[in-house]
Amino acid sequence: MLWVVGLMIVGIVGFILMLATLIGALVSMMARAGRALIGLPGGPSPRTCGRCRHVNAAHARYCAQCGQALGAERETTDVHG
């Protein structure tokens, strides 16, 4: 009978350790995502628009100031025709 109680305790401890590992992994993922969204060290750096030089969030695909697609080359106008 005592061995049954021992097995139950081992099972409960194992379950608690598994939950702690899962919670740690979730917290780590949320921290990385938060740094990426607000541009803190450890995440991607903010993106600067090539057209208007506005500094945008790291996850932005388009400039919040002028609407230019980020990552596109700076617009140039050929004055010589």
- pTM for the whole structure: 0.39
The strand ranges marked E within the chain are 47-48, 55-56
The domain total for the chain is 2
What pLDDT is recorded for position 32? Answer: 73
Task: Judge if 57 and 77 occupy the same domain.
Answer: yes
Helix (H, G, I), strand (E, B) or coil at 37: helix
Chunked mean pLDDT (size 10), the chain, 81 residues: 88 94 88 65 79 90 94 55 49
What pLDDT is recorded for position 41? Answer: 62
Task: Judge if 33 and 60 occupy the same domain.
Answer: no
Helix (H, G, I), strand (E, B) or coil at 40: coil
What pLDDT is recorded for position 15? Answer: 95
| Domain limits for position 74 | 46-81
Chain-centroid distance of CA 68 in Å reads 23
- Rounded Cα distance between 59 and 35, Å, is 11
Task: Judge if 50 and 80 occupy the same domain.
Answer: yes
What pLDDT is recorded for position 10? Answer: 93
